[in-house]
Every structure is written in C-alpha cells, then in structure tokens.
Structure 1
C-alpha cells in the first residue's frame, strides 16, 4: 500500500514553473572575429596556415611545425578585430 500511495501522489500532475525564455548572449568578439576572418588579408594567411598543416600532416616524420603561420594568421585577424571591436561595445 505504501507504494500505491506514492504512485498516487507522484502520479498527480505537478505545477510546472514557466521558464522565461532568455536570449542567448552573443559575444561581440566572436562575431567580429568571424567577419575579420573573411577579410582578404586574413583569408590569405589562413590559406598559408592550412597549406602548412596539410604539408605537416601528410608527413610521418618532420620537424616542421606551423607556429609562424599560426601567429601570422592570429596577428592579421586580431589587427582587424582591434579596429572594429570597441565600436560595438556598449
């Protein structure tokens, strides 16, 4: 009988709390980074980075890494972001 009582009380519909829909916060930095990655200079440095990654990934044994290409890409992207980010911050 104890189980039946629990089933009866647990079987009753409980009042559901209405959850307010919150808008998902969008980081302006990420948005601007995506736009800057589409810029001509950033596209060129990304292509160099991807070519290096493909070259290094295709070899079984190499001392080459793509650090220089990565830093070039990040520098180009961040240079573009620096000029645009603070105009969108409230």
Structure 2
C-alpha cells in the first residue's frame, strides 16, 4: 500500500460537470430570490435544488466509474 493520500474523484468531476447544469442553477437561484422574503416558511426551492444536483450527479455518473479501481 502506498503512502499517497487518496483523492475522491467525485468532487473533481462535480466541478467539471457544473457548467453543463447552468440552466438548473439559474432556476434555483431565481427561486431563492423569489422566496427570499417569505416569513411563513411555506415557500421553498427544494425541487429546484434537487434538479440541479440531479443534473450534476447524472453527468458525474457517466464518468465516475472510469476513475475507480
């Protein structure tokens, strides 16, 4: 076993996939601006948040297993 520190390739792949998910990010950011002043707690952007990360995860999944041993 080597003394090299293991680096998680998923984090690097997530960064490289973020530009492909700009539309979902903009939708999430627009939602957060819309609900910013909501004091009732009923409005949220959970759907847009998950849409954004689903896009990133889908992009990463196609590349991740090529980096694993």
Correspondence 1:2-17 to 2 at 5 A: none
Greater RCO (CA < 8 Å, at least 6 residues apart): 2
Q: Structure 2: which 5+ residue stretches go unaligned?
A: none
Q: Rg larger in 1 or in 2?
A: 1
Of the candidates 22, 34, 52, which is equivalent to residue 73 of structure 1?
Answer: 52
Q: Could you tell me the TM-score, scaled by structure 1's length?
A: 0.63
Q: Structure 1: which 5+ residue stretches go unaligned?
A: 1-21
- Work out the number of aligned pairs and report it: 67
Question: What CA RMSD, in Å, does the superposition of the two structures yield over aligned residues?
Answer: 1.8
Whether the 8 Å contact between 1:56 and 1:62 is mirrored in structure 2 is no
